[in-house]
C-alpha cells in the first residue's frame, strides 16, 4: 500500500476543539498570529523560483488582504496557529502586489516537485477549498444564495424554507494499472487521451458513476477505454487531486484478455508495455505520468517488482 503521496499530508489538525464554533473561528481568523494562504484564480502564492516556498501570510500583510478578500476557509491548526485560505480572484494583480512583496501566484503543478510535501498539500487544500466555494454560491436544492458559515467550512442556503447545509465534496475517480503475465516479466496497459501532454502514456482512469462500487468502476472503465476484461482488482492507495476537485482511488488489476479495442474512441492510443519498453520511453518521445500523481506511483510500484 502506498504511504503518503503528494497532496495528502497538510500537517494540520483539521477539526480542533472549536471548529464548529462560529465565534472561535472568527476570533482565529482575525488573530494576528493566524496564517493566511491566499489563492488567486486557482493559483497559489510562491516565493522564489529555484527553491520555491509556499507562502502563508501573517501580521499586517494578512490583515490587509483579509479586508479585501472574497471567500475564506478554515484549514486547520498547527499547534496554536490557525490556517485559513482566502480568495483574491476578484482583484487584478497590481492591486495585490504591495501586500505580496516578491511572492508570485503560480500554478501549483509547476512547482510541486520542488516544495516540501506538507507545503504542497497545504496549497492544494487551499486551492481546492476556494474552488469549492467558487462553485457553490447557490443552493443546489432551491437555487437561493448560500452563505459561507463556520469559517468557510460549509455553506448554508439563505432561503429559510430550505436552509440546506452544503459541505465540501470531492469527486471520486478510480485510476488503475492493468497488468498481464508474459515474456520479459509481463506488461502493463497504458493509454493516452487527447488531453495529455505530447508523448505521455498514463494509467487508465475514470469517474465513479452512481450505483457503482469502486471495483465495478475499474472494470467498466478499462473495458470502455481499451476493450480489456480485468480480474483481481486490488486497492493500492488514494490521493486527493485538486485539479480541480477529485479523489483518485488507485487500483491494480489483472487482465484476463489481451486484445486492445479502441473503437469506443475514448483513447487515442493504448498499448501493452514491458518494463524494458518503459525504460526506453524517452528514446521514443514517450513519458510516464507526472511524478506527483498516483498514476505514476502505480506504474513505479510495478516497475520495481521486475
Ligand atoms: Zn436552498
> What is the distance in A from the centroid of ligand 1 to the CA of 132?
17
- What are the distances in angstroms from CA 131 to CA 13, 128, 244? 21, 5, 7
Residue 88 CB partners (closer than 8 Å, separation 6+): 38, 39, 40, 65, 68, 69, 70, 96
> What is the distance in A from the centroid of ligand 1 to the CA of 196?
38
Which three cell numbers, joined as nine digits, stand for 116? Answer: 516540501
Cα–Cα distance, 249 to 205 (Å, whole number): 9
> What is the distance in A from the centroid of ligand 1 to the CA of 160?
8
Cα–Cα distance, 213 to 290 (Å, whole number): 27
> What is the distance in A from the centroid of ligand 1 to the CA of 117?
38
Residue 221 CB partners (closer than 8 Å, separation 6+): 174, 176, 204, 205, 206
61: exposed, middle or buried (C-beta count within 10 Å: 0-12, 13-18, 19+)? middle
Q: Where do the structural domains in the chain lie, given as residue ranges?
A: 1-135, 136-168, 171-305
* Element housing 47 (H / E): strand 43-47
Which three cell numbers, joined as nine digits, stand for 236? Answer: 493500492
> What is the distance in A from the centroid of ligand 1 to the CA of 144?
5
214: exposed, middle or buried (C-beta count within 10 Å: 0-12, 13-18, 19+)? middle
**pLDDT of res. 213:** 98
The reported pTM is: 0.92
Q: Please write the tens of the pLDDT for every residue from 137-188.
A: 999 999 999 999 999 999 999 999 999 999 999 999 999 999 999 999 999 9
CATH topology of domain 171-305: Nucleoside Triphosphate Pyrophosphohydrolase (3.90.79)
> What is the distance in A from the centroid of ligand 1 to the CA of 129?
21
- What are the distances in angstroms from CA 264 to CA 16, 25, 228, 268? 49, 50, 12, 10
Q: What is the CA radius of gyration of the chain?
A: 22
> What is the distance in A from the centroid of ligand 1 to the CA of 161?
8
> What is the distance in A from the centroid of ligand 1 to the CA of 272?
49
- 3-class DSSP assignment, residue 72: strand
The Cβ-side half-sphere exposure at 151, using a 13 Å CA radius, reads: 27
Cα–Cα distance, 11 to 208 (Å, whole number): 29
Q: Which residues of the chain are under the pLDDT cut of 50?
A: none
> What is the distance in A from the centroid of ligand 1 to the CA of 243?
27
Cα–Cα distance, 126 to 301 (Å, whole number): 29
Q: At what angle do helices 93-100 and 59-68 cross, to 10 degrees?
A: 160
Which three cell numbers, joined as nine digits, stand for 43? Answer: 493559483
> What is the distance in A from the centroid of ligand 1 to the CA of 18?
26
**pLDDT of res. 297:** 95
> What is the distance in A from the centroid of ligand 1 to the CA of 138?
8
> What is the distance in A from the centroid of ligand 1 to the CA of 137?
11
> What is the distance in A from the centroid of ligand 1 to the CA of 90?
25
> What is the distance in A from the centroid of ligand 1 to the CA of 165?
8
Query: In the chain, count of helices (H) and strands (E)?
Result: 8, 15
**pLDDT of res. 4:** 67
| Cell 486527493 found at | 240
**pLDDT of res. 221:** 98
Q: Please write the tens of the pLDDT for every residue from 207-235.
A: 999 999 999 999 999 999 999 999 999 99
> What is the distance in A from the centroid of ligand 1 to the CA of 130?
21
* Element housing 118 (H / E): helix 117-134
Amino acid at each position: 500500500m502506498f504511504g503518503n503521496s503528494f497532496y495528502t499530508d497538510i500537517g494540520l489538525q483539521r477539526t480542533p476543539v472549536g471548529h464548529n464554533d462560529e465565534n472561535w473561528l472568527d476570533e482565529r481568523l482575525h488573530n494576528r498570529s493566524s496564517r493566511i494562504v491566499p489563492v488567486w484564480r486557482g493559483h497559489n502564492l510562491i516565493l522564489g523560483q529555484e527553491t520555491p516556498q509556499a507562502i502563508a501570510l501573517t501580521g499586517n500583510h494578512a490583515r490587509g488582504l483579509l479586508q479585501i478578500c472574497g471567500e475564506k476557509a478554515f484549514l486547520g491548526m498547527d499547534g496554536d496557529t490557525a490556517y485559513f485560505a482566502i480568495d483574491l480572484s476578484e482583484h487584478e494583480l497590481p492591486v495585490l502586489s504591495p501586500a505580496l512583496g516578491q511572492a508570485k501566484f503560480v500554478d501549483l503543478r509547476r512547482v510541486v516537485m520542488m516544495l516540501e510535501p506538507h507545503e504542497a498539500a497545504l496549497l492544494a487544500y487551499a486551492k481546492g477549498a476556494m474552488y469549492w466555494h467558487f462553485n457553490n454560491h447557490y443552493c443546489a436544492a432551491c437555487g437561493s444564495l448560500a452563505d459561507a458559515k463556520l469559517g468557510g467550512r460549509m455553506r448554508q442556503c439563505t432561503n429559510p424554507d430550505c436552509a440546506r447545509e452544503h459541505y465540501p465534496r470531492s469527486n471520486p475517480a478510480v485510476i488503475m494499472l492493468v497488468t498481464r503475465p508474459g515474456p520479459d516479466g509481463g506488461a502493463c496497459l497504458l493509454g493516452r487521451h487527447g488531453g495529455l501532454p505530447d508523448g505521455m502514456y498514463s494509467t487508465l482512469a475514470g469517474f465513479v458513476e452512481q450505483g457503482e462500487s469502486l471495483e465495478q468502476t475499474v472494470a467498466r472503465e478499462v473495458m470502455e477505454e481499451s476493450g480489456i476484461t480485468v480480474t483481481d482488482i486490488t486497492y493500492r492507495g488514494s490521493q486527493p487531486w485538486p485539479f480541480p476537485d477529485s479523489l483518485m482511488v488507485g487500483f491494480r488489476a489483472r487482465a484476463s484478455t489481451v486484445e486492445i479495442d479502441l473503437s469506443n474512441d475514448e483513447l487515442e492510443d493504448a498499448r501493452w508495455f514491458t518494463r524494458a519498453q518503459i525504460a526506453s520511453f524517452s528514446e521514443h518521445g514517450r513519458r510516464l505520468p507526472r511524478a506527483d500523481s498516483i498514476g505514476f506511483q502505480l506504474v513505479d510500484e510495478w516497475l520495481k517488482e521486475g
